[in-house]
Structure 1
Amino acid sequence: MLVLLPPSETKAAGGHGDPLDLDSLSTPELTPVRRKLVDVLVELAADVPASLAALGLSARQEAEVRRNAALRTAPTMPALRRYTGVLYDALDVPSMSVAELGRAEQRLSVGSALFGLVRGGDEIPAYRLSAASVLPAVGPLRELWRPVLEPMLSTVDDLVVDLRSGAYAALARVPHAVTVRVVSEDGAGRRKTVSHHNKAYKGKLARVLGTARGQVSTVDGIRRIAEKAGIVLEQTGDRALDLVVTG
Protein backbone atom coordinates (compact mmCIF):
# COMPACT_ATOMS: atom_id res chain seq x y z
CA MET A 1 0.00 0.00 0.00
CA LEU A 2 1.11 3.53 -0.83
CA VAL A 3 -0.50 6.42 1.05
CA LEU A 4 -0.04 9.85 -0.54
CA LEU A 5 0.05 12.73 1.94
CA PRO A 6 0.02 16.47 1.34
CA PRO A 7 3.09 18.39 2.52
CA SER A 8 2.88 21.38 4.85
CA GLU A 9 3.98 24.97 4.43
CA THR A 10 5.68 24.75 7.82
CA LYS A 11 8.80 22.63 8.24
CA ALA A 12 10.83 21.59 11.26
CA ALA A 13 14.15 23.40 11.47
CA GLY A 14 17.59 21.83 11.53
CA GLY A 15 18.34 18.14 11.23
CA HIS A 16 21.19 15.70 11.78
CA GLY A 17 21.48 14.24 8.29
CA ASP A 18 24.08 15.04 5.65
CA PRO A 19 23.26 17.78 3.10
CA LEU A 20 20.78 16.99 0.36
CA ASP A 21 21.79 14.16 -1.97
CA LEU A 22 19.24 14.05 -4.76
CA ASP A 23 20.60 10.74 -6.02
CA SER A 24 19.76 9.09 -2.69
CA LEU A 25 16.06 9.96 -2.78
CA SER A 26 13.47 7.38 -3.77
CA THR A 27 11.95 7.38 -7.28
CA PRO A 28 15.19 8.41 -9.07
CA GLU A 29 13.29 9.06 -12.30
CA LEU A 30 12.24 12.34 -10.69
CA THR A 31 15.83 13.48 -10.12
CA PRO A 32 16.19 15.70 -13.23
CA VAL A 33 13.15 17.81 -12.31
CA ARG A 34 14.20 17.93 -8.65
CA ARG A 35 17.66 19.15 -9.64
CA LYS A 36 16.21 21.81 -11.93
CA LEU A 37 13.93 23.14 -9.19
CA VAL A 38 16.70 23.17 -6.58
CA ASP A 39 18.92 25.12 -8.96
CA VAL A 40 16.14 27.61 -9.70
CA LEU A 41 15.26 28.14 -6.03
CA VAL A 42 18.87 28.61 -4.95
CA GLU A 43 19.50 31.10 -7.75
CA LEU A 44 16.24 32.92 -7.08
CA ALA A 45 17.09 33.21 -3.37
CA ALA A 46 19.89 35.62 -4.27
CA ASP A 47 17.16 38.13 -5.12
CA VAL A 48 15.07 38.34 -1.97
CA PRO A 49 12.26 40.58 -3.32
CA ALA A 50 11.88 38.36 -6.39
CA SER A 51 11.81 35.25 -4.19
CA LEU A 52 9.15 36.70 -1.92
CA ALA A 53 7.02 37.58 -4.91
CA ALA A 54 7.39 34.20 -6.63
CA LEU A 55 6.70 32.27 -3.43
CA GLY A 56 3.79 34.45 -2.37
CA LEU A 57 5.49 35.50 0.89
CA SER A 58 5.53 38.72 2.89
CA ALA A 59 8.64 40.63 3.92
CA ARG A 60 8.32 39.12 7.39
CA GLN A 61 8.93 35.66 5.89
CA GLU A 62 12.40 36.40 4.54
CA ALA A 63 13.75 33.49 6.62
CA GLU A 64 11.98 31.14 4.21
CA VAL A 65 14.08 32.56 1.37
CA ARG A 66 17.23 31.89 3.40
CA ARG A 67 16.13 28.28 3.72
CA ASN A 68 15.96 28.00 -0.05
CA ALA A 69 19.37 29.62 -0.39
CA ALA A 70 20.82 26.84 1.78
CA LEU A 71 19.12 23.91 0.03
CA ARG A 72 22.41 22.29 -1.01
CA THR A 73 24.22 22.75 2.32
CA ALA A 74 21.58 22.57 5.07
CA PRO A 75 21.22 19.46 7.25
CA THR A 76 18.47 17.00 6.42
CA MET A 77 15.98 14.84 8.30
CA PRO A 78 13.41 12.19 7.26
CA ALA A 79 10.41 13.65 5.45
CA LEU A 80 7.91 12.44 8.06
CA ARG A 81 9.76 14.47 10.68
CA ARG A 82 10.47 17.46 8.44
CA TYR A 83 6.85 18.34 7.72
CA THR A 84 4.83 19.83 10.59
CA GLY A 85 1.33 21.16 11.16
CA VAL A 86 -2.10 19.72 11.91
CA LEU A 87 -1.90 16.56 9.79
CA TYR A 88 1.58 15.68 11.00
CA ASP A 89 0.65 16.40 14.62
CA ALA A 90 -2.13 13.82 14.25
CA LEU A 91 0.26 11.40 12.51
CA ASP A 92 2.43 11.72 15.65
CA VAL A 93 5.65 10.17 14.34
CA PRO A 94 7.56 10.66 17.65
CA SER A 95 5.24 8.23 19.43
CA MET A 96 5.71 5.41 16.89
CA SER A 97 7.68 2.33 17.83
CA VAL A 98 10.72 1.39 15.75
CA ALA A 99 8.68 -1.24 13.90
CA GLU A 100 5.77 1.15 13.30
CA LEU A 101 8.09 3.86 12.00
CA GLY A 102 9.75 1.39 9.64
CA ARG A 103 6.39 0.48 8.13
CA ALA A 104 5.26 4.12 7.98
CA GLU A 105 8.42 5.25 6.19
CA GLN A 106 7.80 2.68 3.47
CA ARG A 107 4.05 3.15 3.06
CA LEU A 108 3.68 6.91 3.49
CA SER A 109 4.85 9.30 0.79
CA VAL A 110 4.52 13.06 0.65
CA GLY A 111 3.55 14.97 -2.47
CA SER A 112 6.02 17.83 -2.74
CA ALA A 113 6.21 20.87 -4.99
CA LEU A 114 10.01 20.67 -4.86
CA PHE A 115 10.68 16.92 -4.85
CA GLY A 116 7.57 15.59 -6.57
CA LEU A 117 7.17 12.68 -4.20
CA VAL A 118 9.28 11.62 -1.24
CA ARG A 119 9.04 8.47 0.86
CA GLY A 120 8.63 9.00 4.56
CA GLY A 121 12.23 8.06 5.22
CA ASP A 122 13.80 10.22 2.51
CA GLU A 123 16.22 12.77 4.00
CA ILE A 124 15.34 16.31 2.94
CA PRO A 125 16.20 19.87 4.06
CA ALA A 126 13.74 22.57 5.06
CA TYR A 127 12.48 24.56 2.09
CA ARG A 128 9.66 26.77 0.89
CA LEU A 129 7.75 26.07 -2.30
CA SER A 130 4.05 25.44 -2.76
CA ALA A 131 2.13 23.75 -5.55
CA ALA A 132 0.63 27.08 -6.58
CA SER A 133 3.99 28.84 -6.93
CA VAL A 134 5.02 30.06 -10.38
CA LEU A 135 8.80 30.32 -10.64
CA PRO A 136 10.61 32.45 -13.23
CA ALA A 137 11.77 30.37 -16.22
CA VAL A 138 9.76 27.40 -14.95
CA GLY A 139 6.11 28.39 -15.02
CA PRO A 140 3.29 26.49 -13.30
CA LEU A 141 4.66 23.50 -11.40
CA ARG A 142 1.79 21.33 -12.57
CA GLU A 143 3.11 21.53 -16.13
CA LEU A 144 6.56 20.54 -14.94
CA TRP A 145 5.56 17.63 -12.71
CA ARG A 146 2.66 15.98 -14.50
CA PRO A 147 4.67 14.55 -17.42
CA VAL A 148 7.00 12.66 -15.04
CA LEU A 149 4.89 12.10 -11.91
CA GLU A 150 1.78 10.69 -13.56
CA PRO A 151 3.58 7.95 -15.54
CA MET A 152 5.53 6.97 -12.42
CA LEU A 153 2.43 6.73 -10.21
CA SER A 154 0.50 4.86 -12.91
CA THR A 155 2.97 1.98 -12.61
CA VAL A 156 2.50 1.51 -8.84
CA ASP A 157 1.11 -1.99 -8.35
CA ASP A 158 0.22 -1.50 -4.69
CA LEU A 159 -3.08 -0.10 -3.50
CA VAL A 160 -2.80 3.72 -3.57
CA VAL A 161 -4.67 5.84 -1.03
CA ASP A 162 -4.64 9.51 -2.00
CA LEU A 163 -5.00 11.92 0.93
CA ARG A 164 -3.44 14.91 -0.87
CA SER A 165 -5.12 18.30 -0.98
CA GLY A 166 -6.42 19.65 -4.29
CA ALA A 167 -3.39 21.69 -5.34
CA TYR A 168 -1.00 18.80 -4.79
CA ALA A 169 -3.32 16.23 -6.33
CA ALA A 170 -3.28 18.43 -9.43
CA LEU A 171 0.50 17.95 -9.78
CA ALA A 172 -0.16 14.32 -10.71
CA ARG A 173 -3.51 12.63 -11.17
CA VAL A 174 -3.84 9.02 -9.99
CA PRO A 175 -7.10 7.69 -11.47
CA HIS A 176 -6.75 4.27 -9.84
CA ALA A 177 -6.22 5.65 -6.32
CA VAL A 178 -8.66 5.37 -3.44
CA THR A 179 -9.74 8.85 -2.31
CA VAL A 180 -11.01 9.86 1.12
CA ARG A 181 -13.43 12.69 1.92
CA VAL A 182 -13.93 13.79 5.53
CA VAL A 183 -17.59 14.50 6.33
CA SER A 184 -19.55 15.30 9.47
CA GLU A 185 -22.96 13.80 10.24
CA ASP A 186 -25.50 15.42 12.51
CA GLY A 187 -28.26 13.72 14.51
CA ALA A 188 -30.62 13.82 11.55
CA GLY A 189 -28.13 12.03 9.30
CA ARG A 190 -27.27 15.12 7.28
CA ARG A 191 -23.67 15.25 6.07
CA LYS A 192 -21.35 18.04 5.04
CA THR A 193 -17.69 18.17 4.10
CA VAL A 194 -15.35 18.94 6.99
CA SER A 195 -12.86 21.69 6.26
CA HIS A 196 -11.41 22.94 9.57
CA HIS A 197 -10.40 19.56 11.05
CA ASN A 198 -9.99 17.75 7.73
CA LYS A 199 -6.20 17.49 8.08
CA ALA A 200 -6.33 16.11 11.61
CA TYR A 201 -8.66 13.25 10.65
CA LYS A 202 -6.57 12.42 7.60
CA GLY A 203 -3.46 12.40 9.79
CA LYS A 204 -5.08 9.90 12.15
CA LEU A 205 -6.09 7.70 9.23
CA ALA A 206 -2.60 7.92 7.73
CA ARG A 207 -1.11 6.76 11.03
CA VAL A 208 -3.45 3.76 11.20
CA LEU A 209 -2.75 2.73 7.61
CA GLY A 210 0.97 3.45 7.78
CA THR A 211 1.66 1.48 10.94
CA ALA A 212 -0.72 -1.49 10.47
CA ARG A 213 1.02 -4.85 10.77
CA GLY A 214 -0.79 -6.58 7.95
CA GLN A 215 -0.66 -5.81 4.26
CA VAL A 216 -3.67 -3.98 2.82
CA SER A 217 -4.62 -4.47 -0.81
CA THR A 218 -8.37 -3.75 -0.98
CA VAL A 219 -10.83 -1.02 -0.05
CA ASP A 220 -12.48 -3.44 2.39
CA GLY A 221 -9.09 -3.95 4.01
CA ILE A 222 -8.73 -0.19 4.52
CA ARG A 223 -12.14 -0.06 6.17
CA ARG A 224 -11.40 -2.98 8.48
CA ILE A 225 -8.13 -1.50 9.73
CA ALA A 226 -9.76 1.89 10.25
CA GLU A 227 -12.70 0.35 12.10
CA LYS A 228 -10.37 -1.34 14.59
CA ALA A 229 -8.99 2.12 15.39
CA GLY A 230 -12.46 3.62 15.81
CA ILE A 231 -12.44 5.42 12.45
CA VAL A 232 -15.66 5.10 10.45
CA LEU A 233 -15.15 4.78 6.70
CA GLU A 234 -18.06 4.30 4.33
CA GLN A 235 -17.61 3.33 0.70
CA THR A 236 -19.33 5.78 -1.63
CA GLY A 237 -17.89 4.56 -4.92
CA ASP A 238 -15.60 1.89 -6.34
CA ARG A 239 -12.58 3.81 -5.07
CA ALA A 240 -14.12 6.51 -2.90
CA LEU A 241 -14.51 6.56 0.87
CA ASP A 242 -16.16 8.94 3.33
CA LEU A 243 -14.49 9.31 6.72
CA VAL A 244 -17.56 10.01 8.85
CA VAL A 245 -17.31 12.22 11.92
CA THR A 246 -20.43 12.21 14.10
CA GLY A 247 -21.59 14.76 16.61
Structure 2
Amino acid sequence: MLILLPPSEGKTPATSGSPVDLARLSAPSLTRHRTKVLRALARASARRNALDILGVGPSLADDVARNTRLDTEPAAPAGQVYTGVLYAAAGLDDLSPAQTELAAASVRTISALWGAVGPGDVVPAYRLSMGTDLPGVGPLAPTWRPLLEKVLAPRAAGDVVVDCRSAAYLAAWKPGKGTDWVSVRVLRELDGKQSVVSHNAKHTRGLLTRHLLTRDGAEPRTAEDVYKAAHELVGTTLIDATLIEGKNGASTLELVVA
Protein backbone atom coordinates (compact mmCIF):
# COMPACT_ATOMS: atom_id res chain seq x y z
CA MET A 1 0.00 0.00 0.00
CA LEU A 2 0.95 3.61 -0.52
CA ILE A 3 -0.55 6.06 2.00
CA LEU A 4 -0.55 9.71 0.89
CA LEU A 5 -0.84 12.37 3.59
CA PRO A 6 -1.03 16.17 3.51
CA PRO A 7 1.54 18.06 5.59
CA SER A 8 0.33 19.63 8.80
CA GLU A 9 -0.14 23.39 8.74
CA GLY A 10 1.68 23.68 12.05
CA LYS A 11 5.09 22.07 12.37
CA THR A 12 7.38 21.44 15.33
CA PRO A 13 10.87 22.90 14.77
CA ALA A 14 13.81 20.74 15.76
CA THR A 15 15.75 22.19 18.69
CA SER A 16 19.05 20.56 17.74
CA GLY A 17 20.64 18.59 14.95
CA SER A 18 22.21 19.16 11.57
CA PRO A 19 20.49 21.11 8.77
CA VAL A 20 18.65 19.39 5.94
CA ASP A 21 20.83 17.58 3.42
CA LEU A 22 18.82 17.58 0.20
CA ALA A 23 21.02 14.88 -1.29
CA ARG A 24 20.02 12.47 1.47
CA LEU A 25 16.26 12.84 1.14
CA SER A 26 14.31 10.04 -0.48
CA ALA A 27 13.38 10.43 -4.17
CA PRO A 28 16.66 12.07 -5.23
CA SER A 29 15.19 12.90 -8.64
CA LEU A 30 13.33 15.71 -6.84
CA THR A 31 16.52 17.34 -5.52
CA ARG A 32 16.87 19.91 -8.29
CA HIS A 33 13.32 21.22 -7.91
CA ARG A 34 13.54 21.06 -4.12
CA THR A 35 16.60 23.31 -4.34
CA LYS A 36 14.81 25.75 -6.65
CA VAL A 37 11.74 25.98 -4.39
CA LEU A 38 13.87 26.27 -1.25
CA ARG A 39 15.84 29.21 -2.65
CA ALA A 40 12.75 30.93 -4.02
CA LEU A 41 11.00 30.51 -0.66
CA ALA A 42 13.95 32.10 1.15
CA ARG A 43 13.89 35.11 -1.20
CA ALA A 44 10.12 35.52 -0.98
CA SER A 45 10.14 35.21 2.82
CA ALA A 46 12.66 38.06 3.08
CA ARG A 47 10.41 40.48 1.17
CA ARG A 48 8.32 43.13 2.87
CA ASN A 49 5.13 41.58 1.53
CA ALA A 50 6.18 38.03 2.47
CA LEU A 51 3.05 37.40 4.54
CA ASP A 52 0.84 38.33 1.59
CA ILE A 53 2.84 36.16 -0.82
CA LEU A 54 2.56 33.14 1.46
CA GLY A 55 -1.05 33.86 2.42
CA VAL A 56 -0.53 33.93 6.18
CA GLY A 57 -1.28 36.36 8.99
CA PRO A 58 1.00 38.39 11.29
CA SER A 59 0.90 35.68 13.97
CA LEU A 60 3.03 33.48 11.68
CA ALA A 61 5.74 36.07 11.07
CA ASP A 62 8.31 34.01 13.00
CA ASP A 63 7.56 30.96 10.84
CA VAL A 64 8.04 33.05 7.70
CA ALA A 65 11.31 34.46 9.06
CA ARG A 66 12.52 30.87 9.62
CA ASN A 67 11.97 30.25 5.91
CA THR A 68 14.91 32.55 5.15
CA ARG A 69 17.38 30.26 6.93
CA LEU A 70 16.11 26.74 6.28
CA ASP A 71 19.51 25.66 4.96
CA THR A 72 21.00 26.24 8.43
CA GLU A 73 18.05 25.45 10.71
CA PRO A 74 18.15 22.19 12.72
CA ALA A 75 16.24 19.39 11.04
CA ALA A 76 14.46 16.28 12.34
CA PRO A 77 12.57 13.29 10.89
CA ALA A 78 9.42 14.40 9.08
CA GLY A 79 7.35 12.15 11.34
CA GLN A 80 8.33 14.43 14.22
CA VAL A 81 8.27 17.77 12.39
CA TYR A 82 4.76 17.31 11.01
CA THR A 83 2.34 17.64 13.92
CA GLY A 84 -1.31 18.52 14.31
CA VAL A 85 -4.47 16.46 14.49
CA LEU A 86 -3.77 13.93 11.73
CA TYR A 87 -0.17 13.26 12.72
CA ALA A 88 -0.98 13.07 16.42
CA ALA A 89 -3.51 10.34 15.66
CA ALA A 90 -1.16 8.55 13.24
CA GLY A 91 1.71 8.53 15.75
CA LEU A 92 4.40 8.00 13.11
CA ASP A 93 7.13 8.70 15.66
CA ASP A 94 5.78 6.01 18.01
CA LEU A 95 5.96 2.74 16.11
CA SER A 96 7.73 -0.56 16.63
CA PRO A 97 10.79 -1.26 14.45
CA ALA A 98 8.76 -3.43 12.07
CA GLN A 99 5.99 -0.82 11.87
CA THR A 100 8.56 1.94 11.31
CA GLU A 101 9.95 -0.05 8.40
CA LEU A 102 6.46 -0.42 6.95
CA ALA A 103 5.79 3.31 7.37
CA ALA A 104 9.08 4.15 5.65
CA ALA A 105 8.04 2.08 2.65
CA SER A 106 4.36 3.01 2.61
CA VAL A 107 3.79 6.58 3.87
CA ARG A 108 4.52 9.71 1.83
CA THR A 109 3.69 13.27 2.83
CA ILE A 110 3.05 15.46 -0.21
CA SER A 111 4.79 18.76 0.46
CA ALA A 112 4.88 22.14 -1.28
CA LEU A 113 8.59 22.40 -0.45
CA TRP A 114 9.90 18.84 -0.66
CA GLY A 115 7.47 17.27 -3.16
CA ALA A 116 7.16 13.98 -1.29
CA VAL A 117 8.94 12.78 1.84
CA GLY A 118 8.80 9.72 4.05
CA PRO A 119 8.48 9.82 7.86
CA GLY A 120 12.23 9.30 8.27
CA ASP A 121 13.36 12.05 5.90
CA VAL A 122 15.15 14.72 7.95
CA VAL A 123 13.74 18.20 7.27
CA PRO A 124 13.33 21.55 9.06
CA ALA A 125 10.01 23.13 9.97
CA TYR A 126 8.81 25.54 7.28
CA ARG A 127 5.80 27.55 6.21
CA LEU A 128 4.59 27.03 2.63
CA SER A 129 1.32 25.72 1.23
CA MET A 130 0.75 23.97 -2.08
CA GLY A 131 -1.70 26.66 -3.20
CA THR A 132 1.03 29.34 -3.19
CA ASP A 133 2.08 31.15 -6.37
CA LEU A 134 5.76 31.41 -5.42
CA PRO A 135 7.76 34.15 -7.18
CA GLY A 136 10.48 32.60 -9.28
CA VAL A 137 8.69 29.24 -9.43
CA GLY A 138 5.00 29.90 -10.06
CA PRO A 139 1.93 28.01 -8.81
CA LEU A 140 3.49 25.10 -6.95
CA ALA A 141 1.11 22.21 -7.65
CA PRO A 142 1.63 22.22 -11.45
CA THR A 143 5.42 22.44 -11.06
CA TRP A 144 5.48 19.34 -8.86
CA ARG A 145 2.99 17.29 -10.89
CA PRO A 146 5.26 15.83 -13.62
CA LEU A 147 8.06 15.20 -11.14
CA LEU A 148 5.79 13.40 -8.67
CA GLU A 149 4.35 11.37 -11.52
CA LYS A 150 7.81 9.92 -12.18
CA VAL A 151 8.34 9.16 -8.48
CA LEU A 152 4.91 7.99 -7.31
CA ALA A 153 3.39 6.30 -10.35
CA PRO A 154 5.91 3.41 -10.37
CA ARG A 155 5.44 2.98 -6.62
CA ALA A 156 1.65 2.89 -6.98
CA ALA A 157 1.64 0.42 -9.88
CA GLY A 158 0.22 -2.93 -8.85
CA ASP A 159 -0.55 -1.67 -5.34
CA VAL A 160 -3.31 0.33 -3.63
CA VAL A 161 -3.11 4.08 -2.95
CA VAL A 162 -4.81 5.22 0.27
CA ASP A 163 -5.31 8.95 -0.24
CA CYS A 164 -5.81 11.11 2.85
CA ARG A 165 -4.87 14.43 1.21
CA SER A 166 -6.83 17.66 0.96
CA ALA A 167 -7.76 19.19 -2.42
CA ALA A 168 -4.73 21.52 -2.61
CA TYR A 169 -2.29 18.60 -2.31
CA LEU A 170 -4.38 16.34 -4.51
CA ALA A 171 -3.68 18.87 -7.29
CA ALA A 172 0.04 18.04 -7.16
CA TRP A 173 -0.47 14.43 -8.29
CA LYS A 174 -3.29 11.99 -8.96
CA PRO A 175 -2.88 8.28 -9.64
CA GLY A 176 -3.45 7.35 -13.26
CA LYS A 177 -6.36 5.42 -14.69
CA GLY A 178 -6.38 1.79 -13.66
CA THR A 179 -4.50 2.40 -10.42
CA ASP A 180 -6.30 1.07 -7.35
CA TRP A 181 -6.91 4.46 -5.70
CA VAL A 182 -8.95 4.92 -2.52
CA SER A 183 -9.84 8.45 -1.41
CA VAL A 184 -10.77 8.66 2.27
CA ARG A 185 -13.88 10.69 3.10
CA VAL A 186 -15.11 11.25 6.65
CA LEU A 187 -18.73 11.88 7.63
CA ARG A 188 -20.25 12.70 10.98
CA GLU A 189 -23.55 11.19 12.05
CA LEU A 190 -25.76 13.24 14.36
CA ASP A 191 -29.43 12.53 15.05
CA GLY A 192 -29.54 10.13 12.13
CA LYS A 193 -28.14 12.65 9.64
CA GLN A 194 -24.69 12.57 8.07
CA SER A 195 -22.55 15.57 7.14
CA VAL A 196 -18.99 16.17 5.94
CA VAL A 197 -16.54 17.28 8.64
CA SER A 198 -13.07 18.85 8.44
CA HIS A 199 -11.30 18.90 11.81
CA ASN A 200 -12.57 15.49 12.84
CA ALA A 201 -11.75 14.19 9.36
CA LYS A 202 -8.04 14.83 9.97
CA HIS A 203 -8.19 12.91 13.24
CA THR A 204 -10.03 9.99 11.65
CA ARG A 205 -7.63 9.81 8.70
CA GLY A 206 -4.78 9.74 11.20
CA LEU A 207 -6.41 6.88 13.09
CA LEU A 208 -6.89 4.96 9.84
CA THR A 209 -3.24 5.51 8.93
CA ARG A 210 -2.08 4.19 12.27
CA HIS A 211 -4.40 1.19 12.06
CA LEU A 212 -3.11 0.27 8.61
CA LEU A 213 0.46 0.40 9.92
CA THR A 214 -0.06 -1.40 13.23
CA ARG A 215 -2.81 -3.98 12.67
CA ASP A 216 -2.13 -7.70 12.59
CA GLY A 217 -2.46 -9.46 9.29
CA ALA A 218 -1.30 -8.98 5.73
CA GLU A 219 -0.62 -5.52 4.35
CA PRO A 220 -3.57 -4.27 2.22
CA ARG A 221 -2.92 -4.57 -1.51
CA THR A 222 -6.34 -3.69 -2.96
CA ALA A 223 -9.19 -1.28 -2.29
CA GLU A 224 -11.21 -4.17 -0.88
CA ASP A 225 -8.36 -4.98 1.51
CA VAL A 226 -8.30 -1.36 2.72
CA TYR A 227 -12.07 -1.44 3.25
CA LYS A 228 -11.85 -4.65 5.27
CA ALA A 229 -9.06 -3.17 7.40
CA ALA A 230 -11.06 0.02 8.00
CA HIS A 231 -14.12 -2.02 8.92
CA GLU A 232 -12.12 -3.50 11.79
CA LEU A 233 -12.51 -0.07 13.47
CA VAL A 234 -16.33 -0.16 13.33
CA GLY A 235 -17.68 -0.34 16.85
CA THR A 236 -14.68 1.45 18.35
CA THR A 237 -13.63 4.65 16.54
CA LEU A 238 -16.11 4.31 13.64
CA ILE A 239 -19.86 3.90 13.33
CA ASP A 240 -19.61 2.54 9.81
CA ALA A 241 -17.32 2.16 6.80
CA THR A 242 -18.40 1.90 3.18
CA LEU A 243 -16.44 1.43 -0.03
CA ILE A 244 -17.94 3.22 -3.03
CA GLU A 245 -16.43 1.96 -6.26
CA GLY A 246 -15.79 4.47 -9.03
CA LYS A 247 -14.38 4.33 -12.54
CA ASN A 248 -10.91 3.34 -13.72
CA GLY A 249 -9.80 2.03 -10.31
CA ALA A 250 -10.84 5.09 -8.27
CA SER A 251 -12.92 4.42 -5.16
CA THR A 252 -14.07 6.35 -2.10
CA LEU A 253 -13.83 4.95 1.41
CA GLU A 254 -16.48 6.65 3.55
CA LEU A 255 -15.83 6.52 7.27
CA VAL A 256 -18.69 7.55 9.56
CA VAL A 257 -17.94 8.89 13.05
CA ALA A 258 -20.23 9.99 15.85
Deviation at 1:16, TM superposition (A): 4.3
Q: Specify whether residues 51 and 124 from structure 1 end up closer, same or farther in structure 2 by C-alpha distance, changes over 3 A only.
A: same
Deviation at 1:151, TM superposition (A): 3.4
Question: Residue in 2 aligned with 1:241?
Answer: 252
C-alpha separation in 2, matches of 1:120 and 1:192: 32
After superposition, the CA RMSD in angstroms is: 2.0
C-alpha separation in 2, matches of 1:154 and 1:125: 27
Moved more, 28-37 or 211-220: 211-220
Q: Specify whether residues 191 and 152 from structure 1 end up closer, same or farther in structure 2 by C-alpha distance, changes over 3 A only.
A: same
Q: Percent identity, aligned pairs only?
A: 38
1:122-201 alignment, distance < 5 Å: 122-156=121-155, 157=157, 158-175=159-176, 176=179, 177-186=181-190, 188=192, 190-201=193-204
Question: Residue in 2 aligned with 1:226?
Answer: 230
C-alpha separation in 2, matches of 1:173 and 1:138: 21
C-alpha separation in 1, matches of 2:77 and 2:104: 9
C-alpha separation in 1, matches of 2:97 and 2:86: 21
Deviation at 1:240, TM superposition (A): 1.8
Moved more, 87-96 or 102-111: 87-96
Deviation at 1:94, TM superposition (A): 4.5
C-alpha separation in 1, matches of 2:153 and 2:96: 32
Q: Specify whether residues 225 and 44 from structure 1 end up closer, same or farther in structure 2 by C-alpha distance, changes over 3 A only.
A: same
Question: Residue in 1 aligned with 2:40?
Answer: 40
Q: Which runs of 5+ in 1 are unaligned?
A: none
Q: Which amino acid aligns with 1:174?
A: P
Q: Which runs of 5+ in 2 are unaligned?
A: none
- Residue pair 1:101, 1:211 contacting (<8 A) in 2 also: no
Q: Does 1:29 align with 2:37?
A: no
Question: Residue in 1 aligned with 2:10?
Answer: 10
Q: Which amino acid aligns with 1:240?
A: S
- Residue pair 1:227, 1:233 contacting (<8 A) in 2 also: yes
Q: Does 1:121 align with 2:120?
A: yes
TM-score (norm 1): 0.90
TM-score (norm 2): 0.87
- Residue pair 2:19, 2:75 contacting (<8 A) in 1 also: yes
**1:124-170: CA deviations, max 9, x gaps?**
11111001111112211122111211233222223211111000001
Partner secondary structure for residue 155 of structure 1? helix
Q: Which amino acid aligns with 1:161?
A: V
C-alpha separation in 2, matches of 1:84 and 1:74: 18
- Residue pair 2:13, 2:75 contacting (<8 A) in 1 also: no
Deviation at 1:42, TM superposition (A): 1.9
